[in-house]
Amino acid sequence: MKIVALLLGHATAYLFSGFGGVLLNESCQSVVFKGSKGVYLDAFRQAKAAFALEIDNVCFVEEIFDGLNELTAPDILFYPKHDVSSARKCLLPGLPPPQVYSGSPIASDIVNFINRHAHTFRQVDGSNLAIAKSVKTLEENLYTVDKDDAKCKVIDANEMTLEMFKDHVLRNEPLIIQNAATKSMLSPSWSTKRLLERIGSNEVHVKVSPDGNFEGCEPLEWWQSSDSVQIPDFVLQNLESPDLVLVRPASTNMPFAEFIKHLISTIESNTSYYLEYLSLTTYVPELLQDIPSYSWADFLQLHVQNLWFGDGKSVGKLHFDAFENIMVMVDGAKEFVLYDPSDNSRFYEGHIREAKYDLHRDHFYRENLMESTSMVNSPIDINSPDLARYPLFKQAKSMNCLINEGDALYLPAYWWHEVRSYPAKGDHRNVAVNFWYTPVYDKSFPCKTCKLQFNVDYLNLLNEVNEKDEL
């Protein structure tokens, strides 16, 4: 098969990477056409014309072959930016995986495909959708913490309305919602005794930590196989804090009743047993009938509902989740220390090598260095930060939010948080349920400088206007 034409649109570049003979601009979002002349190429070029004013943002590349049926669907591929400042989920050399267009040879459909992945709002005639101005205004006015040790706003669930909560979500601001648990969750039916009767035989996935810390960092040299497990230099160069490891707890499956026995037997020790983000649907569907359904949050797209059940000794170290979160406290309390994601260089976001505890006969072993990295954790210990090594953390301002029995916390996606659990009065347990939703504001990660961008899956939340934005 012969290549008869090769065209690069907007090919001003600083860094390049190869694409089967084609060079892609690493500092540009690239849309690549690979195929023959015909209706698909015509539609692709019409779509390309719609982005004439995005010359520094979206690049177009054509790799045209002869000898193919012009009706044969080509490859139309979208590649994100992948220069040194961009998010990179894989540390191996080469291009990031592309998004693939699978539609018809219709220019407007290709424009919509590009808009979705490039975070643009073009119409096929090159004008901007009216919604673009609203999106820009939202993104430029997201909530940030302006003083240290700020407190969460508080509202009663009985006073919450759809418009009030939507307003809060669009501002991207945490919120405590009181009286958010159902009567069933706060009734004897959720006591440990009744839960043993209801779900005691259910198999559950249990995490175990020797000191109550979950997903914290420690020196690589503490791990027995640190000298024998070698990683390539090009991976090592892109690790955040390469002398540290992000430590995952030991994990195992057991019946819920056995988990409770372990939890009770280790109350006086440092060891902590924890059901951490345990899917209700997968493991304990019997409890789904008891959890709340919030009409004022119906616009959020539900991802999963989880049970959290521990001894009240756990600390979830500094990290972020790529989901909107509503966490409802059933018993005990959780204290959240929050940081907004407006500048993630303060938290040294990046790839951190992972390790996992092994647990044998109640003894923990540091032997399992993993061939993977964490992308959502910080190397910083907020209680004792190494400011000589991580000086930008000085700029971070915290928000403290304490939720007690019956309270819920709305935590926007990508907010950094450390969570300390406290046991219930008279009962050494800490129980919560949370709801994770598709993020309203999304971002590429790990990336210290990438900003939150409005998720086009939620465009229906914004009020459409009739007039187009001026270009």
Tokens of residue 268, six digits: 């006086």
Report residue 159: phi and psi, to 5°. Answer: -100, -10
Tokens of residue 156, six digits: 């009663």
CA–CA distance from 426 to each of 102, 212, 332, 454 (Å)?
58, 20, 10, 45
> Residue 224's pLDDT is what?
83
Instruction: Identify the CATH class of 3-127.
Output: alpha beta
Encoded amino acid at 432, one letter: A
> Is there a contact between 322 and 376 (Cβ–Cβ < 8 Å)?
yes
Distance of CA 325 to the CA centre of its chain: 11
CA–CA distance from 106 to each of 42, 45, 58, 140, 318 (Å)?
9, 11, 19, 33, 46
Q: To 10 degrees, what angle do helices 256-265 and 192-199 make?
A: 150
Question: Which segments of 223-271 are extended strands (E)?
Answer: 244-248, 250-255
Encoded amino acid at 324, one letter: E
78: three-class secondary structure by DSSP: strand
Q: Which of 121, 80, 139 lies closest to 452, judged by CA?
A: 139
**What is the rounded CA–CA span in Å between residue 295 and residue 120?**
31
> Is there a contact between 240 and 378 (Cβ–Cβ < 8 Å)?
no
Distance of CA 311 to the CA centre of its chain: 26
> Residue 68's pLDDT is what?
63
**What is the rounded CA–CA span in Å between residue 197 and residue 192?**
9
User: Over the stretch 235-261, which tens digit does the pLDDT of each residue have?
Assistant: 888 899 999 999 999 999 999 999 999
Encoded amino acid at 162, one letter: L
Task: Tell me the domain boundaries of the chain.
Answer: 3-127, 150-458
> Residue 416's pLDDT is what?
98
This prediction's pTM? 0.91
Tokens of residue 373, six digits: 């990295």
**What is the rounded CA–CA span in Å between residue 373 and residue 78?**
25
CA angle 414–79–376, rounded 5-degree value: 20
**What is the rounded CA–CA span in Å between residue 401 and residue 334?**
8
CB atoms within 10 A of CB 366: 18
> Is there a contact between 452 and 341 (Cβ–Cβ < 8 Å)?
yes
> Is there a contact between 310 and 272 (Cβ–Cβ < 8 Å)?
yes
Q: Which residues pair with 122 in a beta bridge?
A: 128
Encoded amino acid at 62, one letter: E
Positions in the chain short of pLDDT 50: 1-21, 464-471
The secondary structure of 343-380 as a DSSP string is -GGGGT-SBEEEEEEEEETTEEEEEEEEEEEESSB-S-
CA angle 179–151–273, rounded 5-degree value: 65
**What is the rounded CA–CA span in Å between residue 163 and residue 43?**
40
Encoded amino acid at 296, one letter: W
Tokens of residue 44, six digits: 């692709």
Tell which CATH architecture fits domain 150-458. Answer: Sandwich (2.60)
